[in-house]
Structures are given as structure tokens and as C-alpha cells.
Amino acid sequence: MPFHKIMDAVANEEVDAGLIIHESRFTYPSYGLKQLVDLGEWWEEDTGLPFRLAASLPDALSAMT
């Protein structure tokens, strides 16, 4: 699903949850949505490594090894 359709889909109960990015991180409350988890915060607590906004999964995994 394109990222710009995620919040409407969650708000309209077309899907159970969604991962939002960019400015949606600041505007989701206006859709009546609530945050379940902040993945950047979770990542930093779990790994002790900073969460890079431009990170890719392969980059993140290689940083852990």
C-alpha cells in the first residue's frame, strides 16, 4: 500500500495497523489514530545503536555484526 494511503486505511478500519513515515509521524493524531510503538525508540533500546533515518535493513543488520 502506498504510504500516503496508510492513515486513511487504518482510520477507516480497512487494515488493523500501519507503519507510517515522514511527516505522518506528526499528523497521525488528527486521524484519530494512536501510536502502538515507536520503532526508532525500540531499535535504540533493543540494540543500543542509533536509528538512522536513511538506514536500510541490510545496513542495520551489518552494524549489529
Catalytic residues: 22
What gap in Å lies between CA 37 and CA 5, rounded to an integer?
20
Structural Rg of the chain based on CA atoms? 14
What gap in Å lies between CA 3 and CA 54, rounded to an integer?
16
